[in-house]
Amino acid sequence: MAKDAVIITSGGMDSTTLLYEYKDEIALAITFDYGSTQNGRERVCAVTHCQRLGIKHIIIPLEFMHRYFKSALLETADDIPEGNYDDENMKSTVVPFRNGIMLAIACGIAESNGLKRVMIANHAGDHAIYPDCRPGFIQAMSQAMQNGTYEGIKIFAPYTSISKADIARHGKRLGIDYSETYSCYKGREKHCGKCGTCRERREALREAGIVDTTEYECDDPQS
């Protein structure tokens, strides 16, 4: 199959799974540095996997988001809420229109390189919390990209209707070592184990039947 796609990859579980699952179709991987608390730790993972797969990888700075956007994810580790991954707890971590900005840039890069698709790893578990992960947004953004490019570039988002545990099951079949991915919103050397993303990560790996070798600062309350 032709390598006709750009992928947005953070170095987290979801985009790393997408990277491996569709590696034969990816011509270019993009990681955006927008100054979030976990951005640096994730970025190291993204570089590692792209180098391993021989996929060209670029990092694009979006420093303006850290300067002008309001989100706990753009503040300090102490601003990140702890507890369950739910609407009330995680809403403060929304970076306004983050996926819209990233998809627009990736679309321009795709057209500049003669590519036809932009891959993104949003999933069903994000829908309630993050508006720019929802099916309606992805569909509308894809239509806007098609209308706004000569090549009719589209979004390819195959995980939109499945859960993070389902994604982990894909990764299990692919043999992905998820200890080489990073999720924690606090951005420390080890995953905190207490924030919503750490809890979601633990739950997904447990549901997928994957032994979790991630290093956490605290024990799993459900173990």
CATH number of the domain that residue 144 is part of: 3.40.50.620
Burial of 217 per CB tally in 10 Å (0-12, 13-18, 19+):
middle
Annotated binding residue 18: yes
73-93: average pLDDT: 69
- Do the domain assignments include residue 75? yes
3-state DSSP assignment of residue 92:
helix
Annotated binding residue 149: no
pLDDT at 84: 65
Secondary element (H or E) of residue 88 = helix 87-90
pLDDT at 187: 87
Annotated binding residue 17: yes
pLDDT at 2: 84
pLDDT at 40: 78
Annotated binding residue 214: no
- Do the domain assignments include residue 162? yes
Annotated binding residue 14: yes
> 173 falls in which pLDDT band (50, 70, 90)?
very high
Annotated binding residue 126: no
169-181: average pLDDT: 98
Secondary element (H or E) of residue 117 = strand 117-119
Range of the domain at 151: 5-207
- Do the domain assignments include residue 98? yes
24-29: average pLDDT: 98
Annotated binding residue 12: yes
Residue owning tokens 């994000």: 126
Annotated binding residue 11: yes
Annotated binding residue 45: no
113-142: average pLDDT: 92
Does 56 score more than 60 pLDDT?
Answer: yes
Contact 25, 157 (CB under 8 A): no
C-alpha to C-alpha distance for 213 and 223, rounded to whole angstroms: 14
The amino acid occupying position 123 is H
pTM for the structure as a whole = 0.92
Q: Which of 191, 187, 188 is nearest to 216 (CA)?
A: 191
**Cα distances (angstroms) measured from residue 61 to each of 34, 36, 169, 214:** 6, 11, 32, 28
pLDDT at 154: 98
- Do the domain assignments include residue 217? no
- Do the domain assignments include residue 147? yes
- Work out the percent of the chain whose per-residue pLDDT is above 70: 91
pLDDT at 86: 52
- Do the domain assignments include residue 157? yes
37-64: average pLDDT: 92
* Number of domains forming the structure of the chain: 1
Residue owning tokens 């990816």: 26
pLDDT tens digits along 188-223: 889 999 888 899 999 999 999 999 999 999 887 665
- Do the domain assignments include residue 149? yes
C-alpha to C-alpha distance for 74 and 67, rounded to whole angstroms: 9
pLDDT at 37: 61
Annotated binding residue 50: no
- Do the domain assignments include residue 99? yes
